[in-house]
Structure 1
Amino acid sequence: MLLSKQKKNQAMKGNRFLISITVLGSAGPIRFVVNEEELVAAVIDTALKSYAREGRLPVLGSDLSNFVLYCPLAGMEGLGPWEMIGSLGVRNFMLCKKPQTEKVVDNEKSVTLARKGTGSWKAWFHKSLNLKVSSH
């Protein structure tokens, strides 16, 4: 009996590490400990619950399918929900809402348009690079 509890505790521990998730538009990052084998979808769910529990603004909602987790060091593509959080070896992430899509019906054709500028960290990053600092 005792041996099975020890094995269970060892299996649950795994390699754990502290991650930091910055939510676009929020005052500061959310930090919590995760197992390196935890799925990205579970990490997004935990981040949204922590964000809501702390009463942070702006209000995000709880539907994790509306969000994507980015790793700014790994490129411009978001992490897939079935990837393991420890697969990239990084600990800093950015949580953003997915771009909203609008359906436009034109002559019996349905076209889906992605809305730009709805809180994308990529747009913010590119805009900040274009700012010029004037010297006196």
Structure 2
Amino acid sequence: MNLESPKVNVEKSAEELFELLTDMQNFEKLMPENIAKFEVIGEDSFLFGLKGMPEIQLKVKEKSAPHKIVFGSASDKVPFTLITTIDSVSAATSAVKLDFEGDFNPMMAMMIKGPISKFIETLVTNVPKL
């Protein structure tokens, strides 16, 4: 299952945005309002839980400054990646987009497609607040 967020322009350079998005503490500011738990596990990992959903731990799997950060699920039970792509628009502006790639059975994919789409859209929409 592949999902794509809209591209959002941010009034920060690609380098500055990359630095903000590789600081795990900043992800708490990106989370939806219905967050039940947020905890930084290490410098490249955090755990979050939304009301009514299981807790998920995300870990940085790959970094390519300043244009790409790949997060992956730390659990094999829910195998997915969240790819952050940052494009330079100008010296002081960049655009960010999230791509979700998960390997789920058709029933699970049907159940989570809506909530995951809304979740990644909320994350990317909140990036300008950083």
What is the TM-score normalised by the length of structure 2?
Answer: 0.32
Q: Say which structure, 1 or 2, has more relative contact order (CA 8 Å, 6+ apart).
A: 2
What is the TM-score normalised by the length of structure 1?
Answer: 0.31
Considering only CA atoms, is the larger Rg found in Structure 1 or Structure 2?
1
